[in-house]
Amino acid sequence: MNYQYTHDKITVNIEQWNTDWADHKGDTAMSLPVDKFVDLYENSCSFYEFVQYDLEGTDLVDLDRDERTVEVIKAFLENKGLEVFRVSNPDAIISVYEYYLEEDNEVVLDIETEHASWVVHDMQHAVHDAAGCTIYVKAAIERERILFSMDYTKKHWPDNMPGVEWLEEMEDDFQQRFKQPLDLEEYKYFGYEEE
């Protein structure tokens, strides 16, 4: 399934994987053209920090930051025959959104995700919780971002509401992470008619 989400100057084209087996934790991959990757890598400290995860297993991971010049990165990507670099660390993706929210130009980004609601969730973190090299997340903030993304999905993509099991797993994960409950009951049976 394909969706699109726009916030301010950023439009995200979303390709959603099969939700029958999707994990509630929201695995996501953003494809960045080499020039965008290099620009972010050079100019966004948070992106630089968070993208280390995506460099694992590459020749770049062992280089010091000052050795990872734009030329070195471009050569690496070109030698690998890559036209895009796939970023899968959620914090790196949030930092991409934050960076482009501060730019003057409109931008279109491509995302593959297990559920489109995660794009809304991460964009809200970029708008409200990211500052420089830090993304602030506490229980109240995360609850607010999850509920916003569920409300958005319910309103704009009602045919794409997550199932009961997915939402229950999210509640359990929230409880384990923050030692507080998350109530998603109102979303669990959305769209089902009472018999």
Reported as type and span, the H/E element at residue 179 is: none
Lowest mean pLDDT among 12-16, 21-25, 138-142, 156-160: 21-25
Mean pLDDT of 120-138: 91
- The whole-angstrom separation of Cα 114 and Cα 13 is 14
Q: What are the backbone dihedrals phi and psi of residue 12, each rounded to the nearest 5 degrees, phi first?
A: -115, 120
- The whole-angstrom separation of Cα 123 and Cα 65 is 27
- The whole-angstrom separation of Cα 30 and Cα 180 is 31
How would you classify residue 21: left for phi > 0, otherwise alpha for psi between -120 and 50, otherwise beta?
Answer: alpha
Question: pLDDT (tens digit, 9 = 90+) per residue, 47-106?
Answer: 766 666 556 556 665 666 666 666 777 777 777 777 777 888 888 889 889 989 988 899
Distance of CA 59 to the CA centre of its chain: 25
Question: pLDDT (tens digit, 9 = 90+) per residue, 157-186?
Answer: 998 888 898 899 999 999 999 999 999 999
Question: pLDDT (tens digit, 9 = 90+) per residue, 23-63?
Answer: 566 678 898 887 788 788 777 766 766 666 556 556 665 66
> With bands split at pLDDT 50, 70 and 90, how would you rate the model's confidence at 193?
very low
User: pTM, whole model, 2 decimals?
Assistant: 0.84
Does 20 score more than 70 pLDDT? no
- The whole-angstrom separation of Cα 173 and Cα 139 is 12
Quick check: 146 and 174 in contact, CB under 8 A?
yes
Neighbours of 65 (CB within 10 A): 9
pLDDT in the model for residue 195: 40
pLDDT in the model for residue 174: 96
Q: What is the CA radius of gyration of the chain?
A: 18
Q: What is the DSSP letter of 114?
A: S
- The whole-angstrom separation of Cα 64 and Cα 67 is 5
